[in-house]
Amino acid sequence: MAAGSEIAIIGGGLVGAAIGLGLVRGGASVALYDEGDIAHRAARGNLGNVWVQGKGLASPPYADLTRRAALAWRDFAAALTDETGIDLRFRQDGAFFCCFTPEELDKRAGQLEAAEARSQIPSGYARASLSDMRADFPMLGDGVAGATFCKLDGMVDPLRLLRALLAAFQKRGGRYLPRARVESIAPEAAGFCIASASGVGHADRIVLAAGLGNARLAPQLGLEAPVRPVRGQILITEKLRPFMPRGISFIRQTADGGLICGESSEEAGFEEATTRNVLQDTARRATTVFPFLRDVRAVRAWGALRVMSPDGQPIYQRSASHPQAFLTSVHSGVTLAPFHAGPLADAIRAGALPDDIALPFSPARFHVQATRAA
């Protein structure tokens, strides 16, 4: 039987753990319900990029939210490491997005330039030629036409990040409930009744941060989570001597030396398996960037499911019918972690989402076209 809490968070991945840490830092009593490692953890399919460039191309609020979070990452990482002793392997030295044709480079540079003009927070975006890139990567292949570069982009180990968030959460008194898949949530006179695999619990407030599970739970609280799984496949190489002073969008060298490569986005339902054609395409693109990788062994590969809204942007919502219930559905759980542990957790603790979050990131935006058509 789970005891009562002031706030219950449903979902113990990167998003739920970050919100939970922010809430306990503010003095709230929090229970974090986690399905466990059988869950479709997006962190498993994440390269660990703290990524700005390209986010919010058509949405200035999303672009600025991402940039604000990236600017907070250095202090956020330092504080989390100080508190837990866990090295997050965080670096923020900027990163390249490779383009393979002049046309692709022109198109992407134009998109970023337009987004920069609409955003309030500068990203430090720049266009890089092949010779510019070779200052960092002299072994770069001739099949690369150039790149875009953003100084706010960086990287972190997503599994170390999750471990540190959970450790800090528990250290500050948060109750972590593993193997506690939530089956139903029922509003009651003073809060909510939570039926989970670990028993029945109660909370004054609820935060849904269950990733793909939000789609099932949200309607029980008058919330919306029109999210779907998007599969990504990851390829890992044998360990190499360090050679990457900064990241490339779909290639990152871990602190142990192996390269982690992947950028696929597939509509495959809840199937997590790998496929030969996608892994071959990933290897082809990686060896185009770095031809010497043709002689390097791939040692592991896996697939994982990411959480995607119809437009790829976050959903933040407070229930109109049950005002003590909140929902967060996010694709960028790594990049936005400082925001989730900071301003978002503060807003949830205060009991309301500010307009600059509630309005642009409401699921009501998905009904605009239908309303106009009617």
Average pLDDT for runs of 10 along the chain of length 374:
76 96 97 76 70 93 97 98 97 96 97 94 94 96 97 94 97 95 93 94 96 96 95 94 94 93 89 92 96 96 91 96 97 96 97 96 83 40
pLDDT at site 308: 94
How do 251-253 and 199-208 pair as beta strands?
unpaired
pLDDT at 42: 55
Backbone angles phi, psi at 31, to 5 degrees: -115, 130
Classify residue 351 as left (phi > 0), alpha (psi -120 to 50) or beta.
Answer: left
* pLDDT on residue 4: 63
Least Cα distance to 19 among 205, 188, 195 occurs for: 205
Q: What is the pLDDT of residue 372?
A: 41
- Report pLDDT for 1: 37
Phi, psi torsion values for 192, nearest 5 degrees: -140, 145
Sole residue written with tokens 């965080």: 90
Helix, strand, or coil (residue 165) = helix
Helix or strand holding residue 175 (H, E): strand 175-177
DSSP string over 46-94: ---EE--TTTTTT-HHHHHHHHHHHHHHHHHHHHHHHHH------B-S-
What pLDDT is recorded for position 272?
A: 87
